[in-house]
Structure 1
């Protein structure tokens, strides 16, 4: 073999090993080196006994075999009967033998249908470890939770865990198009190869299902909310059926986006009026056709009368008419309609932040019981920071599901390291005060505030066909963290970061401690170098890549960044107080009072709710102008600090992922400076003030930044 061929082969093998690590996500199952933990695990996990023979139980057993073998370098014996002690027993409630059912009777009362039990028990005076639940998918959730304990090196002694998901629908929204482009996707093309389906089942479909099941995600919307009616034709439903068959053993239901005009486009009707009997019948027949193929089909997600999408308003009807018509079509099969509340109109002169509330709140209590209204976390559009959406808590008779964006449309795409569970937690912990203090958004979402029958959390997926799934190794943490918070909206983001780091990289505290701190601060860094003190939607338009606070020439006012920051010689910010658009009145009185008063409004939301003088004194004594400039600089400094932290981690992880993140952080640092310089130069025209000490002076002109064009920025679908 020539030297060049040897080098090529060595590089190829190294790359394959690296890609395999990236591809495995948080299911690395790295071998444990701590001798005490190894000894404990080996003595506790000598054999696996599986009660049941379903496809799901086979998957659960195989997962345990794979995980234990990889973590301990010890293959567990698979038994059919309980012999001796220190067996790991798995099986659903009614597949267990009578002794086990009796021993766990009180535990089963603590869990719901998707919950699991992991418990150390004495059976006939012999120690056993059991993973169970009320059905096989619940057992699978328990198996993944158990393997997470092992991955994070937790003790398996005296386990007594009973854990249930707090929401019913825990779902990914894929904004994937039938041509495999992904709207707001930054990790390659769509996973779904429609051309090869239904006959070619890519291994990635199975690995996708496995990854989702490991964090308790139980649904997937395969298609973009900007919907294509073709997905509802027999040609494509056959392909959807093939995916549903792959996902079913992992507890994942398939959902589709319904284009409201489908009866016209693929049904040869002259109208899509939801009150038209022919239209109602068409949708009922379509639902019957789908459920005949896919008995556990979840239902439809609908974006109607928003950003050019057709809807009931095209026919003089309202959202209730549209949602309830579709709800009737899927109700006989147990299906759900998720109706998005993301609406705003160029014909509505109202503040865009007020429009969804104004349009939907009057419909409270009018939707059918299998309709859940899907509301974005904030009233504008997935910004680095927004106050919680005023609809949360304001519709007590209507189930509301949260919509988070996992893909980083407004947060630097997949080149910036941003740990989004910190953002998600901030929103979920926000107090709506709708039923007094403690009426958090999480309690609205999990149904506990108003006793809603159906509950849910949706995440706009950041997954593509890149080798590492998400484009940035750390963007995997946002998929993982979304799943964990969908299961339990009260989890702490720091706990999630700790789990993910240990499962994905290393259990070495010298790595965990600084990198976890870096992750926890990363979201605030992005807010600082992009939109500090409540600024919002000042990204360049269309692709939303980079700063564009100067953009003012688009046809609709609310598409222009100048609409949102309103900078002038007197100050900056959008007045949503009583003296402005009065958007604060959409919140409960306690929250309204907090936001409406310039002195009590949290500074992180200041410019969201108030137009503030450049000379206004912030709480730290700085003027608004100086404080704004220093925030931009702080964001840049924070990214530099992230680089310093990461540069010291090379000895703890594989070199491939180390260098990959290192390069991405360099991009993030350059772009943070770009944001700082472009925004401050632009706003300086209005403030007329010098940059304060401590803020680096730009090396380019404002005209230079304005001249930058990005016609092929990714994610436009």
Structure 2
């Protein structure tokens, strides 16, 4: 097999490398010319992408034409294309973003049409058509109808104005604020192309721990320059708004949302923003969480704060995305309950252009969490999902952890709020409660690294998020298969091996980090590496011991009726399952129950033995991934193969660290011997506890 040429990952899944052999001849015959206009910026972007893609796949771009012949690809809308207008296609149910890809006959000529109601839908359809080619699909008798199930499909960048990215593992911020608005780097266009290929239609430019300066005229001009680049690709710009901005940049002495002066300030600010960015999407807000200002500072509710901003944006069509990641200043009995406690009493009080943005689980992007109890609990308030694409708690950029199964697991979870089958996905897409506005957000893993995400396989998490934001019902294995074919190789043996590797990677990370429902066991502050011994400090719920509650007698957080009763926040069938020690899914055992070390698990092993087994199994899986990847040398260019191999070596070393440090600590608590056949930790507990990482990547400051 010839060695692939060197690549650096910049092209992502839009590589458009040549198709070879018989499939190439068939494709050329079915895409022999392109009928596509360029009267608008989006039409021009669509035509350019098709020429780029077809040219790369076929070795030369097909000629442009104004007439249809055999093998023509026709793209556009009834308004932009006489050919499409003449076909009388049924497009009404596709909305603005949907599209149709169909094999048709035009004046006796076999052709493929990519049709939509709006230019942006035609662009999305063009990317789908190119994906069919890249993944080796047949173009015979095409009849694809696609429309997004979620309206707002947004990336949240946790980028600060100084270029630092909070919890970002792909280098510095992608935004060159000090060079904007005058220098619009070509990378911004490629960013827009990549997102449009997934149907992502919004981006929040700045950190949820917002700086009020982002709302000043200087920075609004910079944001407007980015909006200009993104607009042809259907991407609207949003900003994280600091709730105390009226004080910090407005000269007021209060940010009380019921104060008429404050409300007027926000209305004026919204008008200023829309004069600068006419299609501005709206605000993302983190309020009264982790020290951020908010309406509770003035004894007002989250609804009061969100509605004030919603009223300012409403005349312009803007949206408020109000985060539900909150917890009170006082130490709670169970932090997992805080969001439900603060938001459910206000169900139905939020204005129509407010979405409450809820993390997938009730703590904070852990390797595994049960679904958040807010999903299904606020039928009169649109809730949008917040996933974390960047791997704050899952090994940073060096661990190969494919998040598609995590996303799918959360979306498929059954809330039971309207009987069996009332999934989280149906909450998010609005079908369960009839939400008119729907949304999904992903905390971006994009940065200044040449390969965008810090590691080649982390690109798959950006890709999987985008595909699931468009359709939350997709299968994560199918998504992985598409990504592998487009990113690396279409060789069936290679694809099967890599997809299998990816699909087990998240479960492996759970095993070597937080098996059986353990959670929040990472190092303090930087979240790098194991820290199950972390205790003390300003808040108990910022420590590990608060969550695992290990004693000589047992381990786990009792969230049943005899403990914090967090199970009561779920619908009764879910509460009964989670609260019953005999019925709770074993992956959530220690999330909901405090059990003795000799508790008999489903494998027949005592709990302590099962924990050791799972910690070890996780390390073994990573070792197996390394062996698999080594065998695939030659299917991938040497440059990318080498980086993945190096990162897998780091992952094995750090998985072993997690395993050994965790076992050493919990053995010191339980006093139990290791089960027969399992290796003792390589270092002492004191050695592991003495490690410090003041400059760990992604640490806040």
The offset of 1:350, in angstroms, is 2.7
Kept after mapping to 2: 8 A contact 1:385/1:423:
yes
- In 2, distance between residues paired with 1:84 and 1:697? 71
Say whether 1:94 aligns with 2:75. Answer: no
The offset of 1:74, in angstroms, is 2.8
Q: Deviations over 1:308-360 (max 9, x none)?
A: 00001111111011000000000000000000000112414331001100110
Match of 2:468 in 1: 485
Say whether 1:509 aligns with 2:492. Answer: yes
The offset of 1:495, in angstroms, is 0.4
The runs of at least 4 consecutive aligned structure 1 residues that moved more than 3 Å come to: none
Match of 2:60 in 1: 74
Name the SS for the 1:507 alignment partner. coil
Name the SS for the 2:35 alignment partner. strand
Kept after mapping to 2: 8 A contact 1:430/1:440:
yes
Name the SS for the 1:525 alignment partner. helix
Match of 2:690 in 1: 707
Match of 1:24 in 2: 11
1:84 to 64, 69, 73: 69
Say whether 1:627 aligns with 2:610. Answer: yes
Name the SS for the 1:182 alignment partner. coil
Match of 1:195 in 2: 178
Say whether 1:38 aligns with 2:27. Answer: no
- In 2, distance between residues paired with 1:348 and 1:455? 33
- In 2, distance between residues paired with 1:449 and 1:93? 33
Kept after mapping to 2: 8 A contact 1:528/1:632:
yes
Unaligned runs of 5+ in 1: 1-13
Say whether 1:235 aligns with 2:218. Answer: yes
- In 2, distance between residues paired with 1:695 and 1:401? 44
Match of 2:535 in 1: 552
Match of 1:598 in 2: 581
Q: Deviations over 1:518-577 (max 9, x none)?
A: 000000000000000000001011000000010112110100100000000110000000
Kept after mapping to 2: 8 A contact 1:501/1:512:
yes
- In 1, distance between residues paired with 2:241 and 2:545? 34
Number of residue-to-residue matches in the alignment: 698
Unaligned runs of 5+ in 2: none
Q: Deviations over 1:614-634 (max 9, x none)?
A: 000001110000001100000
- In 1, distance between residues paired with 2:661 and 2:331? 31
Kept after mapping to 1: 8 A contact 2:32/2:71:
yes
The offset of 1:705, in angstroms, is 0.1
Kept after mapping to 1: 8 A contact 2:204/2:284:
yes
Say whether 1:115 aligns with 2:98. Answer: yes
- In 2, distance between residues paired with 1:657 and 1:278? 56
Say whether 1:457 aligns with 2:443. Answer: no
- In 1, distance between residues paired with 2:331 and 2:666? 28
- In 1, distance between residues paired with 2:460 and 2:126? 20
- In 2, distance between residues paired with 1:716 and 1:237? 27
Say whether 1:355 aligns with 2:338. Answer: yes
Match of 1:307 in 2: 290
- In 1, distance between residues paired with 2:19 and 2:543? 53
Kept after mapping to 1: 8 A contact 2:331/2:540:
no
Kept after mapping to 2: 8 A contact 1:393/1:434:
yes
- In 2, distance between residues paired with 1:84 and 1:623? 71
TM-score, length of structure 2 as denominator length: 0.98
- In 1, distance between residues paired with 2:299 and 2:365? 30
Return closer, same or farther for 1:237/1:708 CA change in 2, 3 Å cut-off. Answer: same
Match of 2:87 in 1: 103
- In 2, distance between residues paired with 1:355 and 1:694? 43
Say whether 1:56 aligns with 2:45. Answer: no
Higher mean alpha-carbon deviation, 691-700 vs 306-315, is at 691-700
The offset of 1:21, in angstroms, is 4.1
